[in-house]
Amino acid sequence: MFKRSLVLFCIFAVIFGSAASADSKVKFTLWHSYVGADQRAEFMADRLAAFSKANPDILIDEQQIPRDQYQTKLKTMAAAGSLPDAFVIWPNAMCIEFANAGLLADINDVLDKNPAWKNAFSPRALGEFTVKGKTYSAALGVSLTSVVYYNKAIFAKYNVQYPKTYAELKDAIKVFNKNGVIPIAYGNKPLWPAQSTIFSCLADRVTGSQWLTDVLAKKNGAKFTDASFIQALNIMKELNALGAFNKDYNTIDNVQMRRYYYKGEAAMMIDGAWAFSDMIANAPDDVQANTELAVFPDFGGKGDPNVMSGVSSTGVAIHVPFWRRVPEALPEVLYPHLIQEHPHRPEDRQSALCQDADAHRGASPHHGLRFGPQFRTRFHHQRRSPGHHDRAGEADRRCEPDAGCFKIGMNR
């Protein structure tokens, strides 16, 4: 679990270990957005505690900042020239922005001097933090962004089957509304959930996975005014008009929306895999026992109905001024210790989420959460493009597909 995130601490070991040789006590600041119910908060605390125990001469000033405040505060500090020494950063658009501004220290030399460590990561984990040939971090993993959590007891009560098509989804929405049940719990106050957890997968169903790649690469004439993309926007608009979501979806966030589902007031909710830990911690036992996980229905477009969208996770970057303060000598002795404790073997690349689904064939040990019979999916990697809201809350259960896809669970 969390094998990929070792990259941060290998970097820390190299940078801060060398700094310790010049001063008996070295202090560095670290900002991240892993707080509250986010399982990565516990993970980060454990990793930092282990690092501090192994390196008592290095003092860590850790700042935990809620996700919805984090990027604004970080960019404000960047504009003021007061960035922390190390900080969590998102791949692609945000990494490009900070790298082009000369704020990030590249880790190319660190990677080149430690080929076994470098080769333990999938190319995408490094590639999406690489700008003009320089790599600035590595993704902690890949997050599933568009999981449908549904309460099979509510579905059974109103004699509704989980929808496999858009027509069936619309029928289900009508039945639930008629009986005073919220069809889909939804919270979009931070603005990113609609784009990341719902529309990214919906649009892929309609346009097909290659379309967005072509748009961002400006290939094959693909553009955001194409009919297929407009069709996807109209479906999103129609879902809203049908009453698919709770009426206050624009005034609550994606954590608050879960209350509707946990209280049995919503038949479904759409969230990333990062919601697992919160559900296990806070959902009543009966809700957990009746929850199954599903993929989006088929919207009748060009996309593969077995595709689920996902996105590279965050990584930790180093501020250039701090990198320049440390000596060149890098204490390689810390690498074997960390790698031995958390090996980067190829067989570790598939996450517990994937293993649960395949091994249990529909039954996950996560407190009764089950992978429904329709949950067989191929991974489609989202890309963050300039001007898009960065995806948030990366998953606590990670899948890193070696060939760009993976399959989960049972046949549709």
> Which of the pair, 337 or 320, is modelled with greater confidence?
320
The answer to whether residue 99 sits within a structural domain is yes
Q: Where are the alpha helices (DSSP H) in 80-165?
A: 93-100, 108-113, 115-119, 123-127, 152-157
pLDDT averaged over the chain?
75
pLDDT at 100: 94
Domain containing residue 89: CATH number: 3.40.190.10
Q: What is the pLDDT of residue 228?
A: 95
> Residue 389: is it exposed, middle or buried by C-beta count within 10 angstroms (0-12/13-18/19+)?
middle
Q: Of 47-61, 267-281, 345-359, which range is least confident? A: 345-359
pLDDT for residue 353: 36
Query: For residues 119 and 71, is the Cβ–Cβ distance under 8 A?
Result: no
Predicted pLDDT of residue 7:
53
Enter the pTM of the model.
Answer: 0.68
- Phi, psi of 307, rounded to the nearest 5 degrees: -85, 140
Checking if the pLDDT of 370 tops 60, the result is: no
What is the per-residue pLDDT across 64-120, written as a single tens digit (0 to 9) for each?
998 878 988 999 999 999 999 889 998 888 999 999 999 998 888 878 877 877 787
Amino acid found at 222: A
DSSP-assigned beta bridge partners for residue 27 = 59
Do 38 and 156 reside in the same domain of the chain? no
d(CA 96, CA 259): 36
Considering only the C-alpha atoms of the chain, give the largest distance between any 2 of them, rounded to a whole number of Å. 70
Please state, in angstroms and rounded to a whole number, the distance separating the CA atoms of residues 75 and 94: 10
Q: Rounded to whole angstroms, how far apart are CA atoms 224 and 236? A: 15
Query: Token pair of 295, please?
Result: 């993929």
The mean pLDDT value for 317-343 works out to: 50
Does residue 192 share a domain with residue 302?
A: yes
Q: Is residue 330 part of a domain?
A: yes
Domain count, the chain: 2
User: Residue 11 pLDDT more than 80?
Assistant: no
Q: What are 213's two structure tokens?
A: 């790649």
Range with the poorest average pLDDT among 155-159, 205-209, 258-262, 399-403: 399-403
CA dist., res. 199 & res. 345, Å (int)? 35
Residue-wise burial string across 286-297, b where 16 or more C-beta atoms lie within 10 A, e elsewhere: ebbebbbbbbbb
Domain extent for 239: 144-310+350-381
Is 390 a member of any domain? no
User: Are residues 243 and 253 located together in one domain of the fold?
Assistant: yes
Tens-digit pLDDT profile for residues 292-302? 999 899 999 99
How confident is the model at residue 8, as a pLDDT? 56
